[in-house]
Every structure is written in structure tokens, then in C-alpha cells.
Structure 1
Amino acid sequence: MASLTFLGAVGEVTGSRYLLEYHDGGREHRWLLECGLHQGGPDADRANAEPFGQLAGQLDGVVLSHGHLDHAGLLPKLVREGFAGPIHCTRDTAELLDIMLRDAAFVMAKDIEWDNKWRRKAGKPLLEPLYELDDVERTLARCVPHGYGQVVSLGGDASLVFRDAGHILGSAIVELGVPAGGRQRRLVFSGDLGNPDSVLMHPAEKPRDADVVLMESTYGDRDHRPLEETLEEFAEVLEQAHAAGGNVLIPAFAVGRTQEVLYHLSVLYHQGRLKQQRIFLDSPMAIRVTELYARKKAALNRDDLKVLNVAAQGDPSQYLPGLRLTRTVEESMAINRIHGGAIIIAGAGMCTGGRILHHFRYNLAKPGTRVVIVGFQAAGTLGRALVDGAERVKVLGEALMVKARIHTLGGFSAHAGQRELIGWIGAFRNTPRVYLVHGEPGAQQRLQAALAESGIQAEIPRYGERITL
């Protein structure tokens, strides 16, 4: 018998984790599909701190769909607690993990150092990091990279294939062949499916055969606004900010969204529609990822790259001449002396930490400021509070009035919308069992109803639920 247990991204978007168990070759095999960080407030922190227990030493290995932290951010903790198996991922995911996990360990150490200062004064117990840089090094050494379409043996009759998910660099749809009931059962996990309108990425592949499908449902309750309309709104927001004399703050999702925003800013510049002369990419991780994207041009959409080449007459340095990369803390702090006319792209994407918080302190209470939200904001995050219209928020321990205008540009999402999700699952030739994951309850229920109207039955699993394959 083969089974799958839902251990994360159930009733929430983040914290991806699924346990696959099966018998083969006379013994029990256990594989972890994803090992993601929960994001969004104290509940997420408690979930991340929960020990893996005996599971860490029992696993044969881990399979990753892509490098975003909500899918891979707890890997070093798993290694710290005793995991010593292979971590299968795509080649580009392995390179992204080298950047993202190191940054996560660094930011975590800084955050805990900050928290422990007041804890020490208050006589409270000091916090320990989930993992440290040494754990990251050991994790990266366990990564086994593969190309798209390559059939990978997991030992015995089990196999793995990665397909392009079109979400970020290296993102994959995971196809697992698992021995069960005298034959191989096929489990397909969508990972995060890309938005067809997103630039730089290829369209997501559409597998045709599966017995069981786990499909993300982040935007299961809506279709995205057409990209053309989103770009027009983006240009208008930039124009309004320039006229109001304020800065534009864009919380940066370091992988994918930042590179897409830079692309569109470049196009606006070469159309003569970008008034702002100073654009700051104020995120060391986003800078390193952007440099990786530049080195990985062969993996990106050729047609989109042609647009940049034509716009800049073939000179890469002219894609966006006003762009400044601020790597050091001193350079970041200097930006806060600029009271208007700048575009500041800074981490983190859900405003849960990073340099964007410091820019909020100096800009959020100014009516001329524009905050542009370009990605999903999980429940419990500061970004979600801003999207929901909070008039006052706490930033770095300080209460701030929100007088800036908040703009949510859903067309920039790197996730498939409801229409694309239905089209993707509808491409399967047989009738697989479908389970909706990576979505908040309302979004999942609306997608479930929309799928039913298309003749597709889908289930919404509970945390800890175990199904047979």
C-alpha cells in the first residue's frame, strides 16, 4: 500500500509539506514532498518551531518543486534535526537555494539578535534560530539537481520527473511514480503554476496522466486582471506618485516578481513614460537572484528577452539606466534621505521583515507615498493588513498611521488564476482524484465549486489527513 499524508499548506498558502510512504523491495520507504516555511504571524512561528521528531531520521529523501521559502525554507532545520538523505530538485532550483537559504539564515540571525535584546532586558527566555549557516551548508551539499523531463530513479520501482511549472526560475510540476497495488501509481503535484501573462517564464506544461493530483489554489477564487490593464494602472500609479512628490515602495518578492517588475519598468522607461529617475533595488537577495536570472537567459522566454534587447539597442546596461543596486546597510539607510521621486523595491515581499520595514517608517505616514503590492499577502502578515485597509500598523515596534495609498496589482501575480487552474486540471485524459492545496479556505471552496461546474470533482484535505494511492 502507498499513502500520502498532508502535513502543510492545508487551509493556508504557505508551509508546503506532504509525506509519501510506500512498500518496495521488502521495506517501508518515506519521502517528503516539499519542506516549506509557514509565513504569517505567531501561529506560523509556532508551526515552524515544531520539531520534526523521528521523521527527520526516517526519510529516504526530499523532493522539491521549487526554491521559494514556503516550499523549501525548513530544509536546513530538517538537516539540523538529523536528515541525511538526498534532496531532489531542478538545476536552477539548486542554484536559487544557495542564495535563498543563506539569506534566510542571515535574516533569521539578525531578527533573533534584535528580539533577544529586549528579552534579555525583560528577563524573558532567549530565542534560538531554527537553523544557522552551517545547517544551510550541509543542506546545499545534499541537493541532487536534475533537468526537466529527466526520469530519475528513486530506487526500486519508484521514479520522479520534473516538468516546467512556469512560475519562477527552476520551478517544477512534480510527477512521482510509486509502486502500489501491483502497479505504479502516478502522483502529480502542481507546485506553484505560473501565470501565462508573466514575462520571462515559459508557459506551464500540462501533464496528461495521473492517478492522484495535488493542485495549488492560491488564486482559486478569481481570475487575474489582464496584464495590459495592470501595466496601465502601474504607469498611472507611478505618474500619480511623481505628481504628488512622493516615493513609490514596492515590497520585493526576491525571486520572480522583482525581475518582472524591473522588466516592466525598463519597457516604460524606453517608452518615455517613466518620470522617476532613481530606482533602487534594495535587497541583497533580490540583487543576487536578478544576477542569476541574467546568467540563466537560456532558461527564460526568448521573446521577452528580445523586447529588452530591442528597447536597449542590445546594450544590457541600458535596460534601466536609473537602476541602483544597494547592497550595504549604509546604502539602504541613505535612501531614507530621499523624500520623493524615487522607486524603492525592497524585501520582504509580504512585509514580514527586511529593509521594506525601514522604508515604511519613513514613508508610510506621507500622503504622497504609493505602496504597490505585486504578490499574494498571506493572512497575518503586515502586507495583508495594508491590503485590507489598515489605518494604523506596527512597524519595528512603532505604531504608524497609514496615509500612503496602497495599490494591489494582481495582474503581476506569478500564480495561475482560476481560469488557468481549471484549464490545467482539465487537460488530464483520465479522471484523477484531485486535492486542492496551497489556498485559503474561501479560495479553495470557490475553486471547488467552479471545478464541479466543469464536471471535475475535487476534495479539500484536512491537516494530517492520510489518503491511499
Structure 2
Amino acid sequence: MNLRFLGGAGEVGRSAILVNDRLLLDFGTKTGDPPQFPVDSPDPDAVVVSHGHLDHVGSIPSLLSGDRRPPIHWTPPTRELTLTLARDTLKLHGGTYDCPFTEEEVRRVTQVSETHGYREPFTAAGHEITFYNAGHIPGSAHVLVDDGETRLLYTADFHTSPQRLVAGTTARPDADAVICESTYSDVEHEARSAVEEAFAESVKTTIWEGGTVVVPAFAIGRTQEMLMICDAYDIPCYVDGMGTDVTEMLLRNPAFVRDADALRRAKSHARFVTGRDGQRKRIADQNTAIITTSGMLSGGPAMTYIPEIRDRPVNKIAMTGYQVEGTPGRELLETGSAEIDGRVMPVAAGVEQYDFSAHADREGLLAFLDAYQDTEILVNHGDRCGAFADELAGVGYRASAPDIGETVSL
């Protein structure tokens, strides 16, 4: 089996791996200014997609340009999330170099889509494929690829601990080689229960004191997780942005969430925002939590809420996800001000950061890999892939970290 790494090696973003020159695993986009795309434009016989985040699916429609029509295999939520993200990219960047596909190519995605559940083997480009629940977001999958000679496990993004929205992964299928993510290979997450309690206490105190809490959250996974936490701790909240549509979609696919009834109750507890900026400005004056995109303050309804609440110290901004360097969210955490809609705004409101990561930490990664001590490990999807591979090799693993563009023969 030959693997060519077209992206996601030594970085977080634009994941793309070509197997035997025929089967493509993921085809993502690395967000930034400008965004980056995989280093080649392959013409695969089939595409298999692990989950619906931009860094894994952001460039998928571009594979359908010209006469190319490879079938695309994924779980039902991943299909829906990919289309949602693609339409949002068209809305924001269509017709520019920041968007690698057209509206017609997005339409073609629905024509070649083939959906599958977990542990239901299927054939793609002459390979037997099986999805396993990866515990990252709804529909996320480990991908087991068998070409008749070699069994490859592509972990994609995964979490070993349970979240309110999805259960942690328990799958450890037999494999000859593993491509393993390493996003948090040098981090130990605080216990989720402790993070939840600290978040809830802070938000409740702020509301009791007469403040408003803006909770920037990624639309896919994080918005629903925060929605369920607010319900569990009886925190009044609004939900705004793309996360509202994603929540509705997940309720149409209840088999892919941990507790569909709990998600329905959480939706009933919240108020979904469907209005314009005038309504948002009125909501910003209320004593409530507002869960809204974008998670890194780079767009979305947060651009309305933050300016409205920023000048009162009683208010709060509760960041719930990792803030990439160069984003307004990262700038806010480091400097106390952020560039919003082209204006640098000092923020007097309190700013807090909470680790609600949906990735395995160092302990989780090592616990997962413990089942593969005699297996070749290829480390990708992280800022320190080489360092983590060296650490694994130091304790007896056959581990390495491929470079972008490199071909590895198994």
C-alpha cells in the first residue's frame, strides 16, 4: 500500500491522503488569509471522508470539476455538514481565489454521494472500507482501509472521553498501520466535569450580577455541546449562527448523537435567533448567555454581539475552543482587544478561555495507541508531529511523521 500525503502532515488543516493512487481520504482546507489547499489536484476513483470539519472537507467539491465524478463515501451527518460548509464558503468567498469550487460543483456532490453507517463494510476504488465511531463530532469516523494485502487505520480526529453530544471512541480494529492525529499530543485536558462546572458558575455569576455572556462556539459540535451544558445547568441562552441549522440537522440524524432526547430538551430550553442585527442588539442587552458563531471571532453574528457588550466590565466573553494564531479570538486573549469588522476594539468585558476540546489529549492518544504497539504508526494532523513520533519511537513504537508531498510505502 502506497500513501501520499497531500496535506495535514506536520500541520492542522487541509487533510488529504491518497491511497494507492486511487482512493482519497479527506480533502480539506487550511483556513487563513489566504486559505491553503492540498498540494495536488488528484483524480481519484473514489473519495472517503472522515468527518465534516473544514480542515477535512473544505475542498471536497473541487474534486468534481470538469468531467470528474468520483463517488464520495461518508456518514449521513458528514454529508450534510460538508454541504452546509460548502454553501457557506460560496456565500462568503464564491468567485474568488479563497473558494476552490463553484456552485455547480457543490450541486454535483449530491449526485455522487453514498452514505454509510458505522461498522458496515463497503467497497470504494477496489478497497474494503469500514467506518468506526471516532467520538469527535456526530458522524465522525475512523476509517479502516483494506486493499487485500494491508489494513490501514486512519484515525482522523478522535476523542476517547465522552462529551454530552457524542460518546468517546471505543473502536480498536486490527490494522497493519495507523495514521494517527496528534493535535493535543503535548496537552493534558482538565476533567470535562470540572471545566463544565467552572464555566457554569462563571456564566451564572455574570448573569446574576446583571451582565451578558457571549459564548463564541464552532457551529459544528461545539455549539450543540454548549447548548446541552446550558440546559443541564439551567442557564438561559440564545443560539445564533450556522449552529442553529446544524442542530436541526443532527436532530434529523439521532443515531449519530449520544442522547437525542437530551439534545431535543436542550433545544427547547434555548431560544434560536432568526432575526437581523436589530434583534441581536436587543438580545445583547439581556442578562443571558449567547452561543454564537464564529468560534474564533472571524465572522458570523459574533461581529454584532461583541461590539455591543465589549465596553461593560460586568459582561463576559467565554471562549470555548482553541484560537488559531492570527485570528481575532487569539488576539483578544493575548492583548485584550480584537479587530472586528476592520476596527480594532478594546474590550473591557471579562475574557475567559475554557477547554472543551473534542480531540484526545496526550493521555487519550497514548491510551488509543496502546492497542497498536506492534503496528507502524504515521503521525499527522498536529503542530508537533515529528516530536510526538520521536517520543513514540523512544518507548518502542515504529513511529514516523511524514512530510507534505511525501509518499510512504507500507
> TM-score, normalised on structure 1?
0.80
The alignment partner of 2:249 has SS state of helix
1:4 equivalent to 2:3? Answer yes
Which residue of structure 2 lines up, in the alignment, with residue 436 of structure 1?
Answer: 379
Which residue of structure 1 lines up, in the alignment, with residue 303 of structure 2?
Answer: 357
Which residue of structure 2 lines up, in the alignment, with residue 119 of structure 1?
Answer: none
The alignment partner of 1:250 has SS state of strand
**Aligned residues of 2:4 and 2:18 also touching (Cα < 8 A):** yes
Which residue of structure 2 lines up, in the alignment, with residue 199 of structure 1?
Answer: 164
Correspondent of 1:148 among 118, 123, 126: 118
1:289 equivalent to 2:238? Answer no
Write the mapping of 1:19-30 to structure 2, written as runs, cut at 5 A: 19-21=18-20, 29-30=21-22
Following TM superposition, by how much is the alpha carbon of 1:433 offset from its aligned partner in structure 2, in angstroms?
1.4
1:415 equivalent to 2:359? Answer yes
Letter of the 2:345 partner, please give it: L
Query: How many Å separate the matches in 1 of 2:39 and 2:154?
Result: 25
The structure-2 alpha-carbon separation of the partners of 1:51 and 1:209, relative to structure 1 and needing over 3 Å to count, comes to closer
Correspondent of 1:327 among 254, 274, 296: 274
1:221 equivalent to 2:186? Answer yes
The structure-2 alpha-carbon separation of the partners of 1:378 and 1:242, relative to structure 1 and needing over 3 Å to count, comes to same
Write the mapping of 1:129-278 to structure 2, written as runs, cut at 5 A: 129-156=99-126, 158-179=127-148, 184-269=149-234, 274=235, 277=236
Letter of the 1:41 partner, please give it: D
Which residue of structure 2 lines up, in the alignment, with residue 405 of structure 1?
Answer: 350
The structure-2 alpha-carbon separation of the partners of 1:424 and 1:104, relative to structure 1 and needing over 3 Å to count, comes to same
**Bigger radius of gyration:** 1
Following TM superposition, by how much is the alpha carbon of 1:424 offset from its aligned partner in structure 2, in angstroms?
0.7
Write the mapping of 1:297-336 to structure 2, written as runs, cut at 5 A: 297-302=254-259, 308=262, 319=266, 323-328=270-275, 330=276, 332-336=277-281
Following TM superposition, by how much is the alpha carbon of 1:403 offset from its aligned partner in structure 2, in angstroms?
2.7
Query: How many Å separate the matches in 2 of 1:357 and 1:239?
Result: 23
Query: How many Å separate the matches in 1 of 2:344 and 2:174?
Result: 53
Partner deviation per Cα, 1:157-209 (whole Å, 9 max, x = no partner) = x2111111111111100011125xxxx11111101102513113122133242
Following TM superposition, by how much is the alpha carbon of 1:244 offset from its aligned partner in structure 2, in angstroms?
4.8
Partner deviation per Cα, 1:408-437 (whole Å, 9 max, x = no partner) = 211x21111111111111112x62211211
Which residue of structure 1 lines up, in the alignment, with residue 238 of structure 2?
Answer: 280
Task: Report the number of matched residues.
Answer: 409
Query: How many Å separate the matches in 2 of 1:384 and 1:16?
Result: 23
Query: How many Å separate the matches in 2 of 1:99 and 1:4?
Result: 29
**Aligned residues of 2:155 and 2:180 also touching (Cα < 8 A):** yes
Partner deviation per Cα, 1:23-43 (whole Å, 9 max, x = no partner) = xxxxxx42221011111333x
Query: How many Å separate the matches in 1 of 2:144 and 2:347?
Result: 45
Which residue of structure 2 lines up, in the alignment, with residue 38 of structure 1?
Answer: 30
Following TM superposition, by how much is the alpha carbon of 1:214 offset from its aligned partner in structure 2, in angstroms?
0.9
Letter of the 2:324 partner, please give it: A
Letter of the 1:403 partner, please give it: A
Which residue of structure 2 lines up, in the alignment, with residue 116 of structure 1?
Answer: none
**Aligned residues of 2:49 and 2:56 also touching (Cα < 8 A):** yes
Partner deviation per Cα, 1:107-133 (whole Å, 9 max, x = no partner) = 334xx7xxxxxxxxxxxxx76743333
1:14 equivalent to 2:13? Answer yes
Partner deviation per Cα, 1:348-397 (whole Å, 9 max, x = no partner) = 2232322212322323344333222222223332223333x123322211
Alpha-carbon RMSD: 2.5
Query: How many Å separate the matches in 2 of 1:71 and 1:244?
Result: 42
Partner deviation per Cα, 1:247-267 (whole Å, 9 max, x = no partner) = 211222111111111111001
Letter of the 1:131 partner, please give it: F
The alignment partner of 2:371 has SS state of coil
1:459 equivalent to 2:400? Answer yes
Which residue of structure 1 lines up, in the alignment, with residue 369 of structure 2?
Answer: 425
Which residue of structure 2 lines up, in the alignment, with residue 91 of structure 1?
Answer: 76
Letter of the 2:357 partner, please give it: S
Query: How many Å separate the matches in 2 of 1:191 and 1:127?
Result: 27
Which residue of structure 2 lines up, in the alignment, with residue 118 of structure 1?
Answer: none
Which residue of structure 1 lines up, in the alignment, with residue 91 of structure 2?
Answer: 106
Query: How many Å separate the matches in 1 of 2:54 and 2:380?
Result: 16
The structure-2 alpha-carbon separation of the partners of 1:334 and 1:342, relative to structure 1 and needing over 3 Å to count, comes to same
**Aligned residues of 1:280 and 1:343 also touching (Cα < 8 A):** yes
The alignment partner of 1:159 has SS state of strand
Query: How many Å separate the matches in 1 of 2:254 and 2:39?
Result: 40
Which residue of structure 2 lines up, in the alignment, with residue 367 of structure 1?
Answer: 313
Which residue of structure 1 lines up, in the alignment, with residue 285 of structure 2?
Answer: 339
Query: How many Å separate the matches in 2 of 1:280 and 1:463?
Result: 42
**Aligned residues of 1:390 and 1:402 also touching (Cα < 8 A):** no
The alignment partner of 2:330 has SS state of helix
The alignment partner of 2:147 has SS state of strand
The structure-2 alpha-carbon separation of the partners of 1:335 and 1:418, relative to structure 1 and needing over 3 Å to count, comes to same
**Aligned residues of 2:331 and 2:337 also touching (Cα < 8 A):** no
Query: How many Å separate the matches in 1 of 2:8 and 2:348?
Result: 34
Letter of the 2:348 partner, please give it: K
Partner deviation per Cα, 1:207-254 (whole Å, 9 max, x = no partner) = 242222111111111121111211121012203422553321122211
Partner deviation per Cα, 1:283-309 (whole Å, 9 max, x = no partner) = 1x211211122233333224xx56x49
For structure 2, the 5+ residue unaligned runs are: none
Query: How many Å separate the matches in 2 of 1:268 and 1:98?
Result: 33
**Aligned residues of 2:7 and 2:39 also touching (Cα < 8 A):** no
The alignment partner of 1:187 has SS state of strand
Percent identity between matched residues is 31
Query: How many Å separate the matches in 1 of 2:97 and 2:395?
Result: 50
The alignment partner of 2:338 has SS state of strand
**Aligned residues of 2:51 and 2:141 also touching (Cα < 8 A):** yes
Which residue of structure 2 lines up, in the alignment, with residue 24 of structure 1?
Answer: none
Query: How many Å separate the matches in 1 of 2:302 and 2:322?
Result: 16
